[in-house]
Every structure is written in structure tokens, then in C-alpha cells.
A and B are shown apart, each in its own frame.
Chain A
Amino acid sequence: MFAYVAKRIVAMPFLLLGVITVAFLLTHFTAADPLTSIIGERQMNNPDVVEAARQRWGLDRSLPEQYLVYLGNLVTGDFGTSFRTRQPVAQDLIVRLPATLELVISAMILGTVFGITLGVFAARSRGGVIDNLARLFALVGASAPVFWSGLLVLFVFSVQLGWLPGPGRIDARAVAPPFVTGFFTIDSLLAGDWAGFRSALLHLLLPASVLGWTVTGIVSRMVRASMLDVLSQEYILAARAKGASPVRVLLHHALRNAMLPTLTIIGFSFAYLITGAVLTETIFAWPGIGSYAVSAARGLDHPAIVGVTIVGGAAFLVSNLLTDIAYAVVDPRVKLGAKVGA
């Protein structure tokens, strides 16, 4: 297994190279000229300014040359400089990635815990009231657009009831905790700043819940479906024939088996949300990767676009690997790296 994992990790840079190449080509073949956003529309008529900018950003060189230079810089950890923020892309990403991770990980924890619980209860009372309520909740969660559900919870809990703070990662008057992990909750705890921790946690609650609701919807539907499948298996009847209690049958025998297909969904959701939490980040003014990606795309910010793509690609590679490892841990029939048919 360790050899297999090592092999997968070694393969990652090559897979990322493919991702980078495609992203690089796609951005460069867009019809729009990034210069319009670098120097502004009005200066486009000034040949001196245009030429200087093209030289300054290396846009005067041929595409293969640009590509090789970019790759060469990438190896040294240089993701280029953003056309828009004029900051190194790597630095932008380092500041924004923890914000997204903090949000997405919280959402995944909420969504997985609630999703599994709801799925189990729904499967248990198939066709009953609990099942129908759980399915309705899941359906709304999975299909309600975040720009609606996000605004709704903001309106209710922040504006009307005043229980929770509005958008942002931390109270506007508070100072962000010193950067250690980039997770405001953890960093404020490390700094011993209880007020900061409380503020960061409360700010996290609404966006994480909204995003987690989506995850809950997806996970609970998957758990319910695979629980129903597992519950019809003979080993469930065999467990009952041993005299096992309904709770034991449900959790010890059925849920473990039902978790296998669910792991895939959880892994995929996590990777997807790293770059896919755009709407949540926008509505809650959350300075994460998603909103960065949107600004980058709008501003024809090629280095930033490719940078975000690398992060998204890496998220998928890592979460796929983790999913496969989780499979091998849960299911004794899965042997990582075993030859098919051996």
C-alpha cells in the first residue's frame, strides 16, 4: 500500500502538468486581450504604452516561450504575478486558500455528520414521515441555489433576529489573528484571543451551514440509497437471526457497508468545493479561492487563472488519493496496488 501511495504521489506533478497545459492554452486562446485589463481601455490607443506593457508582462514572446518560462518559474515556486493585484499569485493563493479551506472543511464536517444521520434515519423509516421530511430537507439543500438560501439565512439570522454576524470572516473592528495556519478560528485560539475566536466562529457558522446544507443533501441521499441497498442483503438478515438489536444491525452492519459508496461522494464534494464555493464566498464576502477565481476570470488575469486551476486540480488529485486510501482502510477486499485479477 505504501508503495502504491508513493507511486500516486510521484505521478501527481505529471498530472498537474497536463492540467497546467490545458489551462494555459485555454486562457491564451480566449479572444479577449488581457492588455485591456492591464493598462485599461483608454491606453490601448497609445502604442508606446501597449508595447511597454507587452514587454513588461512578457506578452511579446511566443506562446511556447511563455509556456516554458512559466513552467521554469513554477518549479521554483513562482506562480507569476497577477495582472490585477500586482502581487505574486502564490502569495494571493496562500492568503486565500486557508479561508476557503476553513469554510469548506467546516461545511464538510457539518454536511457529512448531518447527511449520514439523516440518511440513516430516512432509510430506517422508509416511506414514513421522517423519511419524507429528511428527503425534502435533502432535496432543498441539494437544489436550492446558494444565492437564495445564503441571502435567506443572512436575512433571517443576521438582519431580522440579530443572532449571528453578517458577511466577513471576523468582526470588522477586530484585527485578524497573526497568520499561522490561516484558519482564523485556530489562529485566534493559538494567539489566546478568545474574543477573536468567538467572532471568527460565529462568522463561520452561517456560510458553513449554507454550504453544509448542500453537502447534507447530497450525502444523505447517497447514504439513504446505499443503506436501503445494504439492508436488503442477506447478511443483515443473518445479523438479525443472531439476535442483534435493530440499532446494532443499523450501525454496526448496515452503515459501515453503506459508507463505501458514500466515501466517493464526500471526497468529490470536498475537491469540488475548493474552487466551487464561489457563490457562498461572494454572498458572505469570504475572501477565498472561489471569489479570487471569479475576479481573475473577469479581469483576464492569466497567471491568477492558471494558479487557481492548479490549486483546484491538486485538490482533486489529493482528495481522490485520500478517498482511495479510505476505501482500503474500510473495505478489506480492496488492496491498493494489487494487480487486477490477482
Chain B
Amino acid sequence: MSVPLLEITDLTVSFAARGKAFQAVSGVDLTVQSGEVHGVVGESGSGKSVTMLAVMQLLSQSATIDGSIKLGGQELTGLSDRQMRKIRGVRIGYIFQDPMTALNPLLTVGEQIAEAVRIHRSDVSRWQASERAVELLRLVAIPNPEKRADQYPHEFSGGMRQRAVIAMAMANEPDLLIADEPTTALDVTIQAQIMELLDQLRREKGIGIVLVTHDLGVVAGVAKSLSIMYAGRVVERGLVDDVFAAPHHPYTKGLLESLPQMDQRVQRLRAIAGAPPPISARPAGCPFHPRCPYVIELCHSERPVLRKVGPIDVACHRAEVVAADSGALQNA
């Protein structure tokens, strides 16, 4: 197999606060291939956004990054800010959650897209850059791009702004797009359009996309593979089809059961009891054990590591039992 586009190995991110270090992300492994969408799913505080910002090295000064982050085989950790600036916006495009706040209100949309080009290409004239901005707005299917480029963000609707943000991220034809909850702030109808646009860019440009979301439904539509994160760790990883067919981790199973499904009559949606642990008080053993219906004595003391069970990587002492239950559920 060729070199993966993005390969994160044993990534740990800790923040120093009040003289203590808190691990937001612990030992995360993640691999994304060119031309595929990889979903990273988890609740707020599960460490998914921190992982992605660590890739970009956009975390605050108080963050410490350990482990390895390779982009197309090139190690990114340890690069200086000057070196990282040649990666950001050039080889990795980043799409933010809220398009309302991700655009500078005082600059026209065209200026902001052209800026992304001109920062990295001193040979491109101001005029050429604004031409390119119009072209990019056309790429993301914004009607009347010539006129739209001269408008300010407040003159755009939410969906149009997110398209503009995507155009900005695509300005230098990056190899990798990181989309951090790109549809969370949008209406459902607009969500589908944005996901379709991202998928189209993947097909046409052959880029790899990391799709960060808390919504398994969004992942189901476009991603080929996914990682489920909980309390700063990857707890389950595999192809979307395999995981959806038979989740091996009780957390994933709980997430799937809390989704309404069109084709099945479910008595009632089941929510996962409890809340994710705060970063400062993560339980010993398996971090999910206080909420887990499958919990046994072992889960209190020993943290499970990722292991292969069938086609899936899962961090659970009772994965086989969960998988059997899930499979039975599917066949029922």
C-alpha cells in the first residue's frame, strides 16, 4: 500500500493548567488515504477537534504535542511555525464549524479567498488572485460569483458562507481537507448540499478528507472509514459499512441506537445514560465504564487497548459480546 496521506501515530496532546497537565488526547492513531473520506466521530470534549488542530499546530501555547503526525510521509511535529505556514492552507485546508464566525466581517469574501492564494504565491498578482477567487467561488457552486466576490460575509446566507469557507480552504488545491463539524451550524437541507459538495471535491480532485462530526448520520452518507473517539482516545475504528453493520464498542452501539432510522420501527430511541467525563476527572480503567451496560470488574481497573476483532479495531474488553449482540440486533 502506498504512503498514507495522513498518518497520526500515538498522538498525545496535553494542556497545562494550574500547575497540572491534562491530557485532551491520549495515544490516538489515525490514518487517512488520498481520495477517501474518513469520519472522526465523538461527543464534545472527546478530543476530535484538538486532534485536528494539533495536525495544523494551531493549538494554544499551553498545549504539548507528543507522538507522530505524518503528511504524505513528512513528519509535521517539530516543524517551526514558519515551516508549518507552508503546510497550512497549501497542503492542508481547514474548514471550521461555524461559517458565521470563520470569515472576517470587515473583508470581502473575494479578498479573503484571494488572500489565501497570495499569502503563498508572491508571483500571483492582486488581479490574478481575485480572478482565482471568483473561479473558486464558481467551483463551490456559488451563483453569480463575480458579484458575490465583492460582497461581505454578512451579505451571505449560512450555507453560502460555508461554501465560501470551503472555497478558501481549496484555494491552493490542498491534498487534505480537514472539515471540523462543517454542517453542525447549518439547516438540514443545507447540510446535505455541503456534504455533497465535499464529496464532489473528493471525487474530482482526489483529495483526502477528514470529516469531524458528532453526527453518525453525516458520516454514514459519505465516509468510507471512521474512528470513534471517546474521552481523548479512539475506541473503535474500521470501515463505515462494518461498524454500522455490527458495532463492537458499547459506546458506538449506543450512538447508533440513539439515531432514528427510516427503515426500522424502533420502540423508542435509546440514549446513552450519563455524560462524558470531564478532562480533569477521567475514570481509571476503561473511560467508558461508568456509562457502559456491558461493564465487568476488569473494566474498572484495566484500560482496554485497540485490538482487532473481526474486521474492526476496538478498545473494549467485551467486544465479542457487544458484536454478537449488535449482529443479533441487525438480524432480528
Which of B77-109 touch A at CB < 8 Å? 81, 85-90, 93-94, 96-98, 101-108
Closest CB in chain B relative to A258 CB, distance in Å: 11
- Among A243, A245, A246, A330, find the residue whose CB has the most chain B CB atoms closer than 10 A: A243
**B165 interface hit (Cβ, 8 Å):** yes
**Residues in A25-72 with C-beta less than 8 Å from chain B:** none
Q: Mark A206-240, 1 if CB is under 8 A from B, else 0.
A: 00000000000000000000000000011101111
Tell which of A238, A252, A253, A330 touches B96, judged by Cβ atoms closer than 8 Å: A238
Q: Smallest CB-CB separation from B93: which chain A residue?
A: A241
Known: A237-B96, A241-B89, A242-B89. Contact between A331 and B105, CB under 8 A? yes
Residues of chain A lying within 8 A (CB to CB) of residue B101 = 233-235
| Binary per-residue interface labels of chain B (145-174) against chain A in the complex, 1 for a CB within 8 Å, 0 otherwise | 000000010100000000001001101000
Kindly list chain B residues whose C-beta atoms are within 8 Å of the C-beta of A253: 104, 107
Contact yes or no, A241 B88, CB < 8 A: yes
Q: A241-B94, A242-B115 are in contact. Are A333 and B89 (CB under 8 A)?
A: no
Q: Quick check: A240 and B58 within 8 Å, CB to CB? A: yes
Chain B residues 43-102 with CB under 8 Å of chain A are 56, 58, 81, 85-90, 93-94, 96-98, 101-102
Give the residue name and chain of the B residue nearest to A238 (CB).
B102
**Residue B120 interfacial (CB < 8 Å):** yes
**Does A8 sit within 8 A of B, measured CB to CB?**
no
B residues 97-127 near A (Cβ < 8 Å) are 97-98, 101-108, 115-116, 119-120
CB <8 Å contact, B152 and A234:
no
The closest CB in chain B to the CB of A244 belongs to B119
Alpha-carbon distance A257/B93, docked complex (angstroms):
24
B53 closest partner in A (C-beta): A237
Q: How far is the CA of A256 from the CA of B87 in the complex (A)?
A: 26
The reply to whether A241 and B56 contact each other, CB–CB distance below 8 Å, is yes
Cβ of A7 within 8 Å of any chain B Cβ, yes or no, is: no
A332 part of interface (Cβ distance < 8 Å): yes
Question: In the assembled complex, which residues on chain A have CB atoms less than 8 Å from the CB atom of B154?
Answer: 332-333
Decide: A235 and B152 in contact? CB cutoff 8 A.
no
Pairwise interchain contact B58-A256, C-beta atoms closer than 8 A? no
Q: How far is the CB of B133 from chain A (nearest CB, A)?
A: 13
Bound-state Cα–Cα, A257 to B107, Å: 10
Contacts A243-B89, A333-B152 known; A238 to B119 CB distance under 8 Å? no
Of chain B, the residue at the smallest CB distance from A237 is B58
- Chain A residue nearest in CB terms to B90: A243
Determine the interface band of chain B, counting residues with CB < 8 A from chain A. 20 to 34
Inter-chain CA distance A205–B81, complex, in Å, is 42
Closest CB-CB distance, B89 to chain A, in whole Å? 4
* Residue in contact with A257 in the complex, picked from B56, B90, B102, B106, CB distance below 8 Å: B106
Give the docked Cα–Cα distance between A17 and B166 (Å): 56
Distance in Å: Cβ of B54 to nearest Cβ of chain A: 13
Known: A237-B96, A240-B88, A333-B152. A257 touches B104 (CB 8 A): yes
Q: Is the CB of A243 within 8 A of B105?
A: no
Indicate which residue in B97, B106, B108, B116 contacts A242 across the interface (CB closer than 8 Å). B116
Q: Which residue of chain B has the shortest Cβ distance to A333 in the bound complex? A: B154
Q: Are A333 and B115 in contact (CB under 8 A)?
A: no
CA A244 – CA B94 in complex, angstroms? 13
Question: Which residues of chain B are within 8 angstroms of A238 by Cβ–Cβ distance?
Answer: 94, 96, 102-104, 165, 168
The answer, among A234, A243, A246, A331, for a CB contact under 8 Å with B106, is: A331
Please give me the residue from chain A that is nearest to B115 by CB atom: A242
Q: Is there contact, CB below 8 Å, between A234 and B102?
A: yes
- Which B residues are CB-close (under 8 A) to A237? 58, 96, 102
Q: Per-residue 0/1 for A311-341: is the Cβ within 8 Å of any B Cβ (1 yes, 0 no)? A: 0000000000000000000111100000000
Closest chain-A Cβ to B56's Cβ sits at a distance in Å of 6
Please pick, from B85, B103, B104, B165, the residue contacting A243 in the complex, using a CB distance under 8 A: B85
- Asked if residues B152 and A243 are in contact (CB atoms below 8 Å), the reply is no
Instruction: Establish whether residues A239 and B58, one from each chain, have CB atoms under 8 Å apart when the complex forms.
Output: no
Smallest CB-CB separation from B171: which chain A residue? A242
Contact B104 A239 (CB under 8 A): yes
Question: In the bound complex, what is the Cα–Cα distance between A245 and B93 (angstroms)?
Answer: 16
| CB closest chain-A residue, reference B113 | A242
Selected contact of A234 from candidates B87, B96, B119, CB within 8 Å: B96
Which A residues lie within 8 Å of B88 (CB)?
240-243
Residue of A nearest to B178 (CB): A241
Please name 22 pairs of A and B residues whose Cβ atoms are closer than 8 Å in the assembled complex, sorted by A: A233-B101, A234-B97, A234-B98, A235-B101, A235-B103, A235-B104, A237-B102, A238-B94, A238-B104, A238-B165, A239-B104, A240-B58, A242-B89, A243-B87, A243-B90, A243-B119, A244-B85, A244-B115, A245-B85, A330-B106, A332-B105, A333-B105
With A240-B58, A257-B106 given, name 6 new contacts (CB 8 A): A235-B101, A237-B102, A241-B93, A243-B116, A243-B119, A252-B115
Q: Which residues of B contact A (CB under 8 A)?
A: 56, 58, 81, 85-90, 93-94, 96-98, 101-108, 115-116, 119-120, 152, 154, 165, 168-169, 171
Top 7 A-B residue pairs of the complex, sorted by shortest distance between their CB atoms: A243-B89, A241-B94, A242-B89, A234-B101, A243-B88, A332-B152, A242-B116
